[in-house]
Structure 1
Amino acid sequence: MKTNSFVMEISKENIINNVNFLKKKYKKSILPVVKANAYGHGIKVITKTLYENGYKDFCVARLSEAKKILENEKLSCCKILVFESIDQSHFSYIKSCDSLVVTANSFQELLTLINSGISSKKIQLKIDFGFGRNGIELLDILKLKSYIVNKNLEFSGIYSHLYATDFIEGKELIDRFSEMVLFLGKEKFQMIHIQNSVGILFYGAQDFMTHMRSGIFIYGLQEEGFFHEGLKQVFQLKGKVAGVRDIEDSKYLAYTSKDDLSNDNYKNIVKIKIGYGDGFLKCNENSMCTINKKTYKILSVTMDNTFIAGDDSISEDDEVILYPNINLIRNNTGMHICEVLPLINDRIERVLK
């Protein structure tokens, strides 16, 4: 019985293709979002690759993610925007780290940051147009304008979140954001951005934006109805067959009655070394994988192993690819495309191809 484990193989060629494609097509700087372990692709692998190819600005959700990037001393000249609010206990670290840019998610938060000695040039303002998650509320905009003028502040940037999926409503949000930036003083902001990946696809380049903030598209993750040509899937979750068994006379497979697994006609069970202990969840049961470029059904997922309905053509050490087309994930598992890969934990190594 073999003990082959899985790896997530990251294509350097495809990640660079995707960011360069977006930058060239829209003639705007791309601001890569690498939160949630770079959407599961490996934050250290992705940021190192992008940095070495000229992309030195990143976005994360939490300070802990920024610190993980900065564990690579070679990335010390990068700039990392942290979306979420940061507790005052970390302010001394923020002030001492040139790479960090923080978000003011409310007017009061802005006052706290400035009064604590954090330069406005290390701050980006987030404006909330009704998303309800975070951001400076519209009722505080007049106070914000007065504060900026009185203190003659200049900021790292200003941004908002394009939450509407309706085309017309989304365009209205962009227009309102543009008006807000002009009201506050466009010259006060080094970086201006609102469009996420879907916003890039729907609305293209906007003249007043300095950057396009892309998450899923830089990884080639797309869904039906939101497809962008020119983007390539960056990862492959791959390993090898750890064992093949004939269970024709067996009643059980692992903890489950064989009769409860599938009505399909199969004879051999293929074992691979990945399971829900690695973040490959049981909802993947009845989805498909490929072995030697042929499609097979996943029957059962346990903590450390997964079992596949096989045939006589499969042998130990044959190559197995899970999620061969990640864009079909909702149809296969019911999960959103952004949910799947971040669940794959550190038991699965990320390897740059």
Structure 2
Amino acid sequence: MTDTTSGSYVSPRRSTRLNALLPVLLLATYFTASFVLRLLRGGDLASDEAQQVALSHALQFGYGDQPPLYNWVFYCFAKVFGVSVDTLAFVKNATLLMSCLFLGLAARKVVGERDTAWISILGFLSLPAVFLLSQRDLTHSIGAFAVVALFLYVLTLVAERPSAGNYALLGAAAGLGFLAKYNFAIIPVATVVALLLEPSLRRLVLNWRLTVTIAVGLAVVGPHVYWAVTHLDAATGDTVTKMRAASSHGMPLQLIAALELVESILKCCALTIAVLAVVYRGHLRTIFAASSEWTRVIGWTLVISMFLVFVIMLAVDATMMRPKWISIFFVAFPLYLACKVDAAGVHIPGAISRLTVLVGAMIFISLGVVFAGSFH
């Protein structure tokens, strides 16, 4: 490769290394900027942050209508670094970074090209719940993002090496997911069904070691479940009440629920699809027509999860669904897209660099808007 302006030669290998450094630079810059800007915003706490501070005085099996994992993590860091905005910002950004790490590791297990694996991380950053809602006021959902990414990574480990140890790790990840967000319980159920639908991976479910997964998962969640049963008043929140928001429409409740869910799904994933479409324009038909065992497993997991969410909505007569309530399910969506691109065999020179620039511009603009809005 020759630079026509200077006459110098840039080797393809060096160009590849430079392109590979761009996403790393984006991650480092973005999370550093997120941390610094949160400190500059000062000590005015959002509602979720205020809850973390208020509950950081003791380590308990349960605290209220939200599961305790994120509270436990913040408690540990607060004991070392003190209860402060610094600690709040560090825990939040470190947890989001861990989500990126585990998604990247999962992608490397199931995607052939290293560059293509970056789609899972960059796609995660393009989710509105990540670059927008998390910068405003999310805590428990952020913890759930990391555990969903961990669960996906361990699932790929189990597929690669179905040992008792990996099955135990899968159970631990599933248990931690429930302790991060109660609706995470849908994901392991949907995953089991999706694996049973895939002949090449069905063996992972029809394996005695799955009992190890169940046993470890129950052991992890057991103490908190006991607390919840013995503190029903504290553990029962108003989420169902919010989901039953009164509707002035003359439509059947089932139709309202379906429309609400579809709208939330689109809000969760439409922007990520749009970003990918810009970078891979001209190849979209090939990408979305491509299929592999992992596109099918992840795709079916997402579909079954949304079906179960809809069933729950019908069961409680819900007429409202906010995107943030189902955002944890879409942590898997960028990994699904990475597997789709890999299955299609589409390799466009500089695609990941363009995706990095596009996602970077979007998330930094959003970060600036959130920062500016905090002073009004």
TM-score, normalised to structure 2, is 0.23
**Larger proportion of helix:** 2
Specify which structure has the bigger relative contact order, considering alpha-carbon pairs within 8 angstroms and separated by 6 or more residues. Answer: 2
TM-score, normalised to structure 1, is 0.24
**Larger proportion of strand:** 1
Bigger Rg, structure 1 or 2: 1
